[in-house]
A and B are shown apart, each in its own frame.
Chain A
Amino acid sequence: MSMKSKTDVIIIGGGATGCGIARDLALRGVPHYLLEEGDFARGATGACHGLLHSGARYAVSDSEAAKECIEENRILRRIGKKCIEQTGGLFVRLPGDSKKFRDRFLEKCEEVGIPTQILSPSRALEMVPSLNPELEEAVLVPDCSIDPFRLCLLNIVSSRRRGGVALIHHRVVDIVKERSRCVGVKALDLFTGQVKEIYGKIIINATGAWGDKTARLAGCDVPLTLSKGSLIITDHRLTNMVVNRLRPASNGDIIVPNEAVCVAGTTSVDVPDPDEARLEPWEMELLIQEASQLIPAFSRARIIRGYTGVRPLIRGGCEGDSRRISRSFRIIDHENGLISIIGGKLTTYRYMAEKVTDLVMDKLGLKAPCLTAEYPLEGQEELSGYPLSKRLENLNEIVCECELVGKREVEETVNRIGVRYISDIQHRTRLGMGPCQGGFCTYRALGIIHNMGRISIEESRYILKDFLQRRFRGIRPALWGAQLREEQLVEGIYLRILGLGEE
């Protein structure tokens, strides 16, 4: 027995673009459903630097993308204060880096409208004392750090408050066609195994790197070049500002502070399948090496995890050198009720959503202006940003010592979203995001859920093993030194104390 629903617009994909479209449709009063196979921000949205670009990175190579970035940067800083940290960013020129490039960089930034300020080495070192002291100079730009997961959640708040439906852990297994027009989707609830049929007038494919796979369900193609970018995370902040290398875009030249940690990346390697992309050992070495040139302490820092995101780039022209492909985006109207959106960046997600929604309005014959840049993101007042004072309130019941997450927070999250996976709780509370990567607190969090009577033993067994496997794949490339030591301890606890794996 399957469940049927009707709506106007069906969005496939719960990344920044999909969530942004949901908010835009909601503000224009259009009913919609959003379907996401994992949790929000599962794809490239969650597996990036968490950098709100000033656009300076693209100023020289891609002024169109740079312009979009600086405009959106200004808008997001206005509407999304609670998921953005206004860190500012430095472009650091090291000995040997071209001065000519620096001149062009400044010129192009000015052309596009990105404010810059040249800093002497001593001034730059005052702002970021961990910088390579040999730097020649630095350029200050309005780069920011952004929490992509929180950004998605806030967009969804607007959608839900206006009747939008967003379903996570739902995989679209089929696009239903009638007289060669796409009229609906079949979505499999990955937790219950139930198939839901949802019908709508327009279907939007916002599945990023999975764009072609999704379009194929409707017999369409999406010309994508998939380029993976790998990143690594340190156990603490080595800088309070975004640090970029002032040279043509290359491997490992950006370091971004994010909450309690630092993210360094990326690489750029073409891959055939987004599900198969992994961080390779050579990438780990390269990223540490490159990041250490900007911040020498990076070579001794504890790396807690590595991950890979897959960029969905527009195919054409620059095969073999994905860095040269424009970071701009493209909307493809398949003219059968399906619209695909590809390319783009986290920074420009709102603008991309606006353009897609404009097209949808046109198709539906509706008229309402885009309001997403006008109003602040809703729900920010509830997002406390986890201030320390709040975390310390229930010190007796701290579940995750690394990130100071209390029992009550876990219980509230479980009550609010229902329980699907430990990672759902992690994303919403930061439980297990610290150095031990959930080694200690997962058993506790599941225990709490158990005590709440929310899961069966089969579910709990599956959730725990699934979590440990995923966690392990993330930390595996970073296993040496303190992280290896901790991993062996965690393994000892699960295998030799708890007896997991003996069933």
Chain B
Amino acid sequence: MEEIYDVVVIGGGMAGLGAAIRLAKEGCHVAVVSRGDPILCLSTGCIDVLASGENPLNGIANLPPQHPYHLVSAEFIKEALAYFLNEIALGGLPYVGSPEENRHVLTPLGVGKTTCLVPETMAASTAEKESRIHVISFAGLKDFYPSYIMARIPATDLSVYEAGPVSTMFLATQFETDEFLERFLNWLKGTDITADRIAIPAVLGWMRALEIKRMIEEETKRPVFEIPTLPPSVAGIRLHRTLKRRALDLGIQFYLGKPIETVEMAGHLVEAVTLESMGRPTRVNGNAFILATGSFVSGGLLSQREGVTEGVFRLPVFYPPDRATWFGENFFPPEHPIEDAGVLVDEEFRPRAVEIDNLFVAGSILAYARVLRYGCGHGMAIVTGQAAASSCLKYLKVAAQGDTCSRTV
């Protein structure tokens, strides 16, 4: 007999992995189908809940009524974020901050990025013009130009470590080796540092980052913080690796790198998705499905000259009909109606205007999410992922009672 998962999650980003972990912890047998590394790997690793105002949770109340945040209560948002932070902390990646207080982390442009939950390696990050920072950079690192920071924050000092031609990924791997770390710490010993804090691009190893940060703090007797870099972003990849490892520990099955070829329906239910494979297509059966394939960049939404479509189930997609109005006239401010494009869902996160009982949708594929405009990417993905997971659980329980479909656990 073919294996049937309780839930098949399509999409391995913030929303999908978050949902999968919650479902697995509730005892479900879960599969994640993902095309590859999610755009989470390109992100700063910081969790933006709402990047305007001082208190994101208060700000959410003022978002337009169609925003996906409004599908759940303020209590649920808090609970979902806390649940998520607990999971990644268990996975060895502690975060600091509160969804009720925005903070500003220093960016490679020398300005403050508004966010609220940050990895502990960025806890001491500060971007005020008056701050006294000592930036440590690496010669040959082409995507990090400390002069931007020095120009904006005048009291900044700079030291450059010679590590040959390097990328952020390569440096992170180097930092994991004791030999490199020792050499770096020795060099640091001979560096004259008088500033209040030390800033280093986010390359301090992969899962040892916090330990390495503390070693540097011990050496220099000052708070140290990481600056998130342009993609590929080590801080974003750390978050992804942590989530993925957590998912594997919970027994979640991954189907990676295989695009979905067909969707198999039985009446109002999705039965399976089949994946392109070297030999014959792989069939992944499920009692319920979560769609969290992201927006345009992730490939969840596809745009053509004629309009916008959803890539897996061909769900109805809301989008501004006239392509000439998709984008505003200017890059600044980023007021682009195309950001409203996405799948409309009911309060259970089921897609509207189609009759599919066992499909739930979460993350930036949702209509009106406006992730770039509001700066709510990871926060919204986490919250809607958890919400879709809990709707999905409810559905599975009812379905099991009604014996309309049998669960395998």
Report which A residues bind B (CB closer than 8 A): 281, 285, 288, 396-399, 407, 440, 443-444, 446-448, 450-451, 453, 456-457, 460, 465, 468-469, 471-473, 476, 479-481, 484-485, 488-489, 491-493, 495-503
Interface pair B330/A469, CB less than 8 Å apart: yes
Interface pair A497/B107, CB less than 8 Å apart: yes
Provided the pairs A444-B143, A460-B151 are in contact, do residues A488 and B107 lie with their beta carbons within 8 angstroms?
no
- Closest residue of chain A to B295, judged by CB? A488
Pick 11 A–B contacts, CB within 8 A, sort by A: A397-B165, A443-B143, A444-B143, A447-B147, A471-B331, A484-B296, A488-B295, A492-B42, A496-B43, A497-B230, A498-B113
CA distance A456 to B148 in the complex (A): 10
Interface pair B108/A488, CB less than 8 Å apart: no
A457: B residues at CB distance < 8 A = 151-152
B375 within 8 A of A: yes
> Which residues of B, 308-358, contact A by the 8 Å Cβ criterion?
323-324, 326-327, 329-334, 338
The answer, among A456, A484, A502, for a CB contact under 8 Å with B112, is A502
CA distance A440 to B151 in the complex (A): 21
CA distance A443 to B145 in the complex (A): 9
Interface pair A397/B375, CB less than 8 Å apart: no
Interface pair A489/B331, CB less than 8 Å apart: no
B119: A residues at CB distance < 8 A = none
B304: A residues at CB distance < 8 A = 480-481
Which range holds the interface residue count of chain B? 35 or more
Provided the pairs A469-B331, A491-B372, A503-B111 are in contact, do residues A496 and B145 lie with their beta carbons within 8 angstroms?
no
Question: What 8 A-B pairs are tightest by C-beta distance, nearest first?
Answer: A447-B145, A499-B113, A450-B147, A472-B331, A457-B151, A281-B324, A499-B107, A498-B109
A471: B residues at CB distance < 8 A = 331
Interface pair A497/B114, CB less than 8 Å apart: no
A281: B residues at CB distance < 8 A = 323-324
B377 within 8 A of A: yes
The answer, among A468, A481, A503, for a CB contact under 8 Å with B303, is A481
Task: Name the residue in B51, B331, B375 with the highest tally of chain A Cβ atoms < 10 Å from its Cβ.
Answer: B331
CA distance A451 to B377 in the complex (A): 33
B327: A residues at CB distance < 8 A = 472, 476, 479
A443: B residues at CB distance < 8 A = 108-109, 143, 145, 230
B280 within 8 A of A: no
Provided the pairs A484-B303, A498-B109 are in contact, do residues A450 and B334 lie with their beta carbons within 8 angstroms?
no
The answer, among A399, A473, A488, A496, for a CB contact under 8 Å with B329, is A473
CA distance A501 to B375 in the complex (A): 12
B251 within 8 A of A: no
The answer, among B113, B140, B295, for a CB contact under 8 Å with A502, is B113
CA distance A285 to B324 in the complex (A): 11
Nearest chain B CB to A297 CB, angstrom units: 15
CA distance A489 to B42 in the complex (A): 9
CA distance A451 to B324 in the complex (A): 40
Q: A479-B327, A488-B295 are in contact. List 4 more A-B contacts (CB 8 A).
A: A396-B140, A473-B329, A479-B338, A496-B43
Nearest chain A CB to B388 CB, angstrom units: 23
Nearest chain A CB to B126 CB, angstrom units: 13
Contact flags (1/0) for B379-396 with A, using CB distance below 8 Å? 000000000000000000
B231 within 8 A of A: yes
Provided the pairs A469-B331, A484-B296 are in contact, do residues A495 and B151 lie with their beta carbons within 8 angstroms?
no
The answer, among A469, A496, A500, for a CB contact under 8 Å with B375, is A496
A488: B residues at CB distance < 8 A = 295-297, 372
B48 within 8 A of A: yes
CA distance A263 to B264 in the complex (A): 44
> Which residues of B, 93-124, contact A by the 8 Å Cβ criterion?
104, 107-109, 111-114
B296: A residues at CB distance < 8 A = 484-485, 488
Interface pair B331/A468, CB less than 8 Å apart: yes
B44 within 8 A of A: yes
- Closest residue of chain A to B140, judged by CB? A396
Interface pair A397/B142, CB less than 8 Å apart: yes
Contact flags (1/0) for B284-311 with A, using CB distance below 8 Å? 0000000000011101001111000000
Interface pair A479/B326, CB less than 8 Å apart: yes
B233 within 8 A of A: yes
Interface pair B297/A501, CB less than 8 Å apart: no
Nearest chain B CB to A304 CB, angstrom units: 15
Nearest chain B CB to A286 CB, angstrom units: 12
CA distance A479 to B146 in the complex (A): 33
Interface pair A497/B113, CB less than 8 Å apart: yes
B228 within 8 A of A: yes
- Closest residue of chain B to A396, judged by CB? B165
CA distance A500 to B113 in the complex (A): 8
CA distance A485 to B341 in the complex (A): 13
CA distance A208 to B107 in the complex (A): 44
- Closest residue of chain B to A490, judged by CB? B331
Interface pair A498/B111, CB less than 8 Å apart: yes
Interface pair A491/B334, CB less than 8 Å apart: yes
Interface pair A495/B231, CB less than 8 Å apart: no
CA distance A407 to B329 in the complex (A): 32
Provided the pairs A469-B331, A492-B372 are in contact, do residues A497 and B145 lie with their beta carbons within 8 angstroms?
no
- Closest residue of chain A to B151, judged by CB? A457
B329: A residues at CB distance < 8 A = 473, 476
The answer, among A447, A493, A497, for a CB contact under 8 Å with B148, is A447
Interface pair A489/B297, CB less than 8 Å apart: yes
- Closest residue of chain A to B378, judged by CB? A496
The answer, among B143, B299, B377, for a CB contact under 8 Å with A496, is B377
CA distance A5 to B295 in the complex (A): 58
A396: B residues at CB distance < 8 A = 140, 165
The answer, among B43, B145, B165, B331, for a CB contact under 8 Å with A444, is B145
Provided the pairs A448-B145, A457-B152 are in contact, do residues A485 and B297 lie with their beta carbons within 8 angstroms?
yes
Provided the pairs A448-B145, A479-B326 are in contact, do residues A495 and B111 lie with their beta carbons within 8 angstroms?
no
CA distance A444 to B338 in the complex (A): 28
A285: B residues at CB distance < 8 A = 305
B324: A residues at CB distance < 8 A = 281
Interface pair A456/B151, CB less than 8 Å apart: yes
Interface pair B332/A469, CB less than 8 Å apart: yes
B151: A residues at CB distance < 8 A = 450, 456-457, 460
Interface pair B145/A500, CB less than 8 Å apart: no
Nearest chain A CB to B114 CB, angstrom units: 6
CA distance A287 to B228 in the complex (A): 42
Nearest chain B CB to A491 CB, angstrom units: 5
